[in-house]
Amino acid sequence: MRGVRVRPRPGGNMLRRLPISMVTWLGAVCMTAAAAAPASAQTKLLRFPDIHGDQVVFSYAGDLWLASTEGGLAARLTAHPGLELFPRFSPDGSRIAFTGQYDGDEQVYVIPASGGVPRQLTYYPARGPLAPRWGYDNQVYDWSPDGRAVLFRSLRYSTDLSDSRLFLASADGGLPVPLPMPESGAGDLSPDGTRVVYSPLFRDFRTWKRYEGGWAQELYIFDRETHVVERVTTHRRADRDPMWIGNAIYFTSDRDGTLNLYSYELASRETTQLTDSDTWDVRWPGDDGAGRIVYELNGELQIYAIDEGTSRPISITVPDDGLAMRPSRVAAADLIEDAELSPKGERALFVARGDVFTAPIENGPTRNLTRSSSAHDRWARWSPDGGRIAYVSDATGEDEIYLIAQNGSGDPEQLTTGGQAMLYAPEWSPTGKHLAYSDKDGRLRVIDVETKEIVEVADEARGPLRDYVWSPRGGHLAFSMTDPTEFRSIWVWSLADGALQRVTDELFHEWNPAWDPDGDYLYYLSDRQFAPQLGSFEWNYLVDRETGIYALALRKDVEHPLPPQSDEVEVTGDDEADEDAADDTASDAAGDDDGDDGDGGDDEAPITIEFDGLSRRVVRLPVTFDNYVGLSGADDGVFFIRAGAQYYGRGADVQPALQRFTFADRETATIAGGIGGYAVSRDGEKVLVREGGGWNVYPAGGGDATTVSTRGLMVDRVPADEWAQIFDEVWRRFRDFFYVENMHGYDWKALRDRYRPLLAHVAHRSDLNYVIGEMVAELNVSHAYIAGGDWETPDRPQVALPGAVFELDAAAGRYRIAEIFTGHNEEPRYRAPLTEIGVDAGLGDYVLAIDGEELLGSDNPYRVLLHRADRPVRLTLNDEPTFDGSREVTFTPVTEERSLRYLTEVEANRRKVSEMTDGRVGYLHIPDMGAQGIQEFVKWFYGQVRKEGLVIDVRGNGGGNVSQMLIERLGRRVLGTSFARTYDTPGTYPAVAFHGHLVCILDEDSASDGDIFPYRFREAGLGPLIGKRSWGGVIGITSHGPLLDGGSVNVPQFGTNGADGSWVVENVGVEPDIEVENDPRSVIAGRDPQLERAVEEVLRMMREDPKALPERPAPPVKTP
């Protein structure tokens, strides 16, 4: 490893030394083992360390361990399937506080430093499970100097994940108390406990190194009594992990490119860099309050001595039993990525957890054909003759195409070599002689299975090309490609001469080609329903249910698939007539044997396509326009999936259903409903359907289903092999899909080589996410996320929440109701239990008992409410702290209160704006640019459209993808008005156009599409921006499928540019026109300086440029 150079801290030691506790027996064991531990036994990925006396505590593989400060053999403190993280010694070293998942979610616990039973201190339900970039709720930071309380960060009062607060939880129990700061991330108390050094922002788990946007952490000192704030750091990059030791603040910063340790002298206000690591970050430091700091560096622990100004490594061996690393046989049915049927439908073909399986429809064994934890096998396809299976695998380290015998005999045969890109499904030609496949760049190729010769078919201009399909007998490929309009058109390629022909018009959106099995028609989907749905809130349209199913006649002699119908008389005659009919039938049969299949060729010859006039030989099938996907050809018809319209915030009215249209009866029949995909056997007789949580096989014409058992899909999992494969696949996905080819100038291969050796030390799936996260973070880009994966986590508990805030009356020793969220009970999201009809609860009421269990001030009310969320809860209330005269109140609980807190904040802001402007100015908060954001916009915008001014608040906006919809509506300009005789107020043209002045408030938490909204707001000239510089992350993402074990990775793939084509906003943020800080002192006093300044600005604009709709004009006089 590369060492870390250190710089001595200037000046003498002005530290308050705390007494060191006696060495416990456990510490003695660690010291004894230290001398015997060989250097080669060093364990890495020791996380979140702390130090006290001669001991360090840390998390490894999700459990807590103790070791000597001299290194050696560690001793286990905890063993649990959940995670135990962020351990912190009490000031006397006798106890350790930590964040644990013992009861399913993340809560604060305390355990004796010598080992023992953990005691739970917090019970309010934790947010989560959170994606790694958000860290963990209830994260422990330190103890109070007197050792009576634990300092932790919690999301319990927050309305969004970027807004947390610091709390103190008494070690004796009871309800945690928030520190006064309205927002806080990491923090540490001063030695006397009167002040706290903290960052108002929290992004400590973000995989984004050298970040310079508005969300970069800065450090402040806050006086808990006076609420006076002193700024400690001012650098544009992150300053984090504060520790208050003596008369200095210690912290880490990546201001020089890598996180290093710094000190800030309180007296001189000078900042000094203490360590000088130029490769590995100094991470998660912990201190003993007496001159030593322990931290992570390259997965190992180092101790920095403040007096000496030097760091030294600790070589620690963790004798872990490797539970998470143990090879085991696990079920793979929950991780099925792809499925289809054998040619005649006797078996199903599954790809699950990186292996290829075949399973019987009814009887027989399930076969794992590929059996490897070190490869992610995907896109398996059965050969037409049933003998082989083609699939994509990264067994060589790159995606290649392989063949394997369908019964698993023999070794796989590698068809392609030299792969450098993600590949998609290898589709067999009906002859079995060729495979078509595509790659991530949209290159469509055909490979000859025998000669392995590859021919390039087409090159899609906008990414992967996925809907390619072979014609009957394999002479042609049909697929769709994107036009400059972003519509798609159908193309056909000839295997014989390589000719590529467009067969549909570029003016319409057409995709998903499918061939008629007889070779007469080419079916496809097209958006041709030009009867849009009208909106209810505004005079505007929405195009929905626009897709139809069409057929192209491939030759001029092909009959119309839907000829005119006529009821004719059936004539019965004598024997002669019968003989004539028999002769005709025989003649027809002979004609069929001659190969008269519409193309004049034999059964092996490719079908004939007459391209001249092909696009005009089109007919729409008599299937109602709707939302269709998944078209495929069938005997005498087509299969397709009918889906419901997409909504933001609720499910579709119509669940996806597999349907079949047949030409003979011209009817559409539903085969299965509520499906997640389907595949038809090559002979067209059976259909495999993903239905609910299982897989069923139906007769192609409909009928009863046969359920396919997936219990036999078992994988012999070798975690270390899986983790290496996942690491490499993530690296390749970034190489393949990162939005610029130069990887921001970084040597991506060198970064892989730097981080890959850490795989040898990964002992838990969360470690793998951490290692990969560190690698992708080097690219200095937003949205580089890694999450999920296969590890055991306990079920999260449900807590019955009343929609209220409890407060301790210390004198009475009882809890009172300090606040009741009013909610909007007509909306399920905003149902407030204690305000519902018949619930007699009021502010100030004492809560004496819950479901008959007495509640005392020494207890935590949420402990009593634990596991009661599934039924009504009975409260014993009184306006006095006594049972005499008390009453029983029953309420139906909710399981989260953040929605009610959000509504309470928004309503308070709306009232404030109305009061400041005599009702002339409206207020609208947009929490994100997704489902909730667009719902809130629709809910509140239209009712305020005739205000003279409107404050648009996107503070805390978490992003999404709807900002352009909102900008378009806000940007409408009134071009005219209209009056009717009975109208007192005019209508506007266009309708629902806001005619007043707009301002937008943003802050450091306005992120992603929440960045783009204020940027485009200003570019559109809608009004000024007020607040703080935004997050600065605008490289968009999409999914490229799950990782082998179900984990996920997001690759930043879509850059954001200005109108001139330049890169904008990324790693900078959107600068406000008027910068306003919401300082803690003002917020604690009940003020919102940013909102107040926004109101002042919009009032100024209204004064200087009044915008009122015109009065009714005088009636026209039209007499001569």
- End-to-end C-alpha distance for the chain, whole angstroms: 99
| Amino acid sitting at position 886 | S
Q: Which of 848, 876, 893 is the last residue before a domain boundary?
A: 893
Q: Does residue 760 sit in helix, strand or coil?
A: helix
Which residue has tokens 């939005």? 739
Tally of domains in the chain: 5
Angle formed by the axes of helices 748-755 and 719-737, to 10°?
160
Q: Does residue 888 sit in helix, strand or coil?
A: strand
**Domain limits for position 882:** 804-893
Per the structure block, which two tokens stand in for 1006? Answer: 């306005």
Is 673 part of any domain? Answer: yes
**Alpha-carbon torsion, ordered 149, 152, 158, 164, to 10 deg:** 130
Do 889 and 903 share a domain, yes or no?
Answer: no
Do 879 and 912 share a domain, yes or no?
Answer: no
Do 402 and 444 share a domain, yes or no?
Answer: yes
The pLDDT value given to residue 602: 53
Is 1063 part of any domain? Answer: no
Angle formed by the axes of helices 963-970 and 931-941, to 10°?
20
Which segments of 942-1048 does DSSP mark as H helices, in order? Answer: 963-970, 1009-1019
**The CATH number of the domain where 101 resides is what?**
2.120.10.60
Do 316 and 346 share a domain, yes or no?
Answer: no
Determine contact, residues 877/891, Cβ cutoff 8 Å: no
Percent of the chain with pLDDT over 90: 87
**The CATH number of the domain where 760 resides is what?**
3.30.750.44
Is 1058 part of any domain? Answer: no
Do 1098 and 990 share a domain, yes or no?
Answer: yes
- Long-range CB pairs of 96-103 (<8 Å, 24+ gap) are 96/50, 96/57, 96/64, 97/121, 97/140, 97/143, 97/150, 97/152, 97/171, 98/59, 98/64, 98/140, 99/136, 99/138, 99/139, 99/140, 99/152, 101/793, 101/794, 102/794, 103/794, 103/797, 103/866
Distance CA 638, CA 666 (A): 11
**The CATH number of the domain where 536 resides is what?**
2.130.10.10
Q: Residue 135: count other Cβ atoms within 10 Å of its Cβ.
A: 23
Which residues of the chain, if any, have pLDDT below 70? 1-40, 573-604
Detail the DSSP E strand segments found in 254-298.
260-265, 271-273, 275-276, 283-287, 292-297
The pLDDT value given to residue 603: 58
Determine contact, residues 236/180, Cβ cutoff 8 Å: no
**How many angstroms from the chain centroid is the CA of residue 663?**
43
**The CATH number of the domain where 859 resides is what?**
2.30.42.10
- pTM confidence score: 0.92
The pLDDT value given to residue 396: 98
Q: Which of 858, 893, 928 is the last residue before a domain boundary?
A: 893
The pLDDT value given to residue 592: 43
User: Residue 255's closest CA among 272, 267, 242, 268?
Assistant: 272
Per the structure block, which two tokens stand in for 922? Answer: 């409206």
Do 316 and 369 share a domain, yes or no?
Answer: no
Distance CA 752, CA 608 (A): 51
Do 918 and 769 share a domain, yes or no?
Answer: no
Do 753 and 808 share a domain, yes or no?
Answer: no
Is 588 part of any domain? Answer: no
User: Residue 738's closest CA among 521, 440, 293?
Assistant: 440
Length of the chain: 1120
Determine contact, residues 338/424, Cβ cutoff 8 Å: no
Do 648 and 622 share a domain, yes or no?
Answer: yes
| Amino acid sitting at position 838 | G
Q: Which of 874, 893, 912 is the last residue before a domain boundary?
A: 893
Write the DSSP symbol of residue 395. T
Consecutive H or E run containing 49: strand 47-52
Determine contact, residues 107/99, Cβ cutoff 8 Å: yes
**Alpha-carbon torsion, ordered 552, 556, 560, 564, to 10 deg:** 140
The pLDDT value given to residue 587: 39
**How many angstroms from the chain centroid is the CA of residue 72?**
41
Is 346 part of any domain? Answer: yes
Do 274 and 363 share a domain, yes or no?
Answer: no
Q: Which residues contact 603 (CB under 8 A, 6 or more apart)?
A: 473, 595, 597
Is 578 part of any domain? Answer: no
**The CATH number of the domain where 985 resides is what?**
3.90.226.10
The pLDDT value given to residue 541: 87
Q: Residue 427: count other Cβ atoms within 10 Å of its Cβ.
A: 18
Is 795 part of any domain? Answer: no
pLDDT in tens, 920-935: 999 999 999 999 999 9
Determine contact, residues 336/1041, Cβ cutoff 8 Å: no
Do 633 and 734 share a domain, yes or no?
Answer: no
Is 794 part of any domain? Answer: no
User: Residue 171's closest CA among 103, 97, 113?
Assistant: 97
The pLDDT value given to residue 653: 75
Consecutive H or E run containing 933: helix 931-941
> If you count DSSP H runs as helices and E runs as strands, how many of each does the chain have, helices first?
12, 75
Question: Does 430 sit behind a cis peptide bond, omega within 30 degrees of 0 on the bond before it?
Answer: no
Do 205 and 62 share a domain, yes or no?
Answer: yes
